[in-house]
């Protein structure tokens, strides 16, 4: 209609046909480009033929020869298919890149889920912080050990939860101390490390800690047994001396 309103063969609106072809490439696929180019060629050719055979009468002072009509039809059809070809190539590349990105997103999502499951399944407490040292994640074991939920610790600094943290020590050193849990002093062993991204840039800290209650109890039991063993050995030695 716009081509007809724009005096047919001399219309300025014929450039809208390529827009339809490009739109087909973006929205649909490569084959749709050629289908749209074919339809555009047919529609444009029909309109020009109607003007050439004077079936439709356009008010224009311009005079066009038969050569002008054939030249316009040939030029426009060639342009339509050339645009369809280029748009199709770009559409195929775009589709390939999109599929590749979707696959990478899927792999990345799977890796993130796997990492989350691994961290959540660890028997040790694990937490991470941002560059501002505010706690971001707090796994299930950490919540069970400290009796604190994620909401209780989110946004707080590690020293707010573990008051025995000594900033004078390096992050790679192991820190042992006690914290109050259910009105009891619970021994905790903790190690802080730098958290880095794939490029090696620091993005925060990661802390891994354990409840040392059982370990300390075992150590106390071992020391008690060693003490009684030493006393037994001393008693046996004294008895031997007395007998002698």
Ordered strands of the 135-138 beta sheet: 135-138, 125-129, 202-211, 184-196, 174-181
DSSP state of 168: T
pLDDT tens readout for residues 211-232: 998 888 888 888 888 888 888 8
Low-confidence ranges of the chain (pLDDT < 70): 1-15, 49-65, 111, 167-172
From CA 37, how far away is CA 60, in angstroms rounded?
28
pLDDT value, residue 1:
45
**Res 7: pLDDT:** 47
Q: Alpha helix locations (H) across the chain? A: 2-5, 16-27, 30-52, 66-121, 140-146, 150-153, 158-161, 213-243
**Predicted local confidence at residue 231, as pLDDT:** 84
Q: Report how far apart, in Å, the C-alpha atoms of 180 and of each of 29, 99, 234 are.
A: 64, 53, 40
* pLDDT the model gives residue 170: 54
Q: What confidence score (pLDDT) does residue 31 get?
A: 83
Span 77-90, pLDDT tens digits: 888 889 888 888 88
Burial class (CB in 10 A: 0-12, 13-18, 19+), 143: middle
Verdict on whether the full-model pTM lies above 0.95: no
């Amino acid at each position: 209609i716009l081509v007809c309103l724009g005096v047919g063969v001399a219309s300025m609106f014929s450039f809208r046909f390529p827009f339809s072809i490009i739109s087909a490439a973006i929205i649909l696929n490569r084959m749709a480009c050629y289908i749209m180019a074919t339809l555009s060629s047919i529609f444009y050719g029909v309109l020009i033929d109607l003007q050439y055979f004077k079936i439709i009468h356009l008010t224009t002072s311009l005079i066009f020869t038969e050569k002008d009509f054939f030249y316009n039809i040939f030029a426009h059809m060639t342009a339509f298919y050339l645009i369809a070809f280029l748009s199709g190539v770009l559409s195929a590349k775009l589709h390939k890149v999109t599929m590749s990105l979707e696959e990478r997103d899927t792999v990345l999502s799977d890796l993130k889920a796997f990492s989350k499951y691994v961290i959540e399944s660890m028997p040790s407490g694990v937490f991470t912080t941002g560059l501002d040292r505010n706690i971001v994640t707090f796994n299930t074991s950490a919540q069970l050990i400290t009796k604190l939920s994620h909401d209780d610790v989110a946004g707080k600094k590690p020293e707010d939860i573990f008051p025995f943290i000594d900033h004078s020590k390096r992050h790679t050193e192991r820190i042992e101390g006690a914290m109050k849990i259910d009105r009891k002093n619970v021994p905790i062993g903790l190690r802080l490390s730098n958290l880095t991204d794939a490029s090696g840039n620091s993005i925060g800290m990661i802390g891994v800690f354990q409840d040392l209650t059982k370990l300390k109890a075992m150590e106390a039991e071992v020391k008690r047994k060693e003490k009684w063993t030493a006393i037994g050995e001393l008693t046996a030695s004294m008895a031997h001396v007395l007998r002698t």
